Each structure stands twice: as structure tokens, then as C-alpha cells.
Amino acid sequence: MAEILSSAVLPAMQKEEKDYFIEKNGVIFAGCHVLADLWGACNLTDPDYIERALKEAIETCGATLLHIHLHHFGKEQGVSGVAVLAESHISVHTWPERSFAAFDIFMCGSCDPKAGLPVLRKYFLPEDMKVEIQKRGVLL
């Protein structure tokens, strides 16, 4: 019995653990966090449209979608939600009455959260986009 158990457990123990931390220019960190404020934006009230935009951004960034949950506050009102990723998340909050949307894109590993910005620009046509990028989990 011990022999069967050890041969079943051994492959799992030999599996290499994947580390999703990144090293760039000598800095080791968990990932990049992109905050994007879209002003003068369109298409902020339709959860199905927003879901399509999120899915394209996720694919473009090279991330893995686990689940999307969007909440629509009512006809011609805003949408809030999150796409949960294997590599972290993208969240969205829209204020159509102000033509404003806030996107929060955090990804670890080899994903590139900045690659999602042109997708957001394409779907929401903002007049202005303010972007801030931070490294998260920097090892000191």
C-alpha cells in the first residue's frame, strides 16, 4: 500500500511550482497595476458591451479569464464589476451621467496589463484617458 501511495504522490511533489513574480531591470515584483480614467467616454450603460470589451482586453493582455461579474444599476445607469483572472483582475465602474469610466487592471506573470489600454480606447472612445501604472509587491 505504501508503494502505491508514494508513486501516486511523487509526481505531484515533483511538479515545479510556478512563480508569477516578475523581474525587470533588476527589480522583482508581483505585477503591474494600471489605473485608467476614461473621460468623455461612450457605451457605459450596456453590460453585454462592457463584457465584450473586458474579454477582448483580457485576451490582448495574455491573461486567463476565470469569471466575470457585472452589475447594471438600471436603464441608462452605470455598470460596476470585475473580471477575475488567474493572473489577478480587471475591475470597472462607469458613471454614464458624467461620461466617465474607471478601470483597474492588475496582472502578474508574463501578462501585459498595458496592452489592454488600446482595447478600452477602441470600445469606449474616450476624449481623454488618464493612466497611472504602479508596480505591486516590490521586493526590497
Torsion 40-35-61-49 (CA) sign: negative
Distance between CA atoms of residues 106 and 136, nearest Å: 9
Which residues are tagged catalytic? 88, 93, 108
| Residue 68: count of CB within 10 angstroms of its CB | 18
What does the DSSP 8-state code read for residue 16? P
Rounded CA-CA distance 8/20 in Å is 27
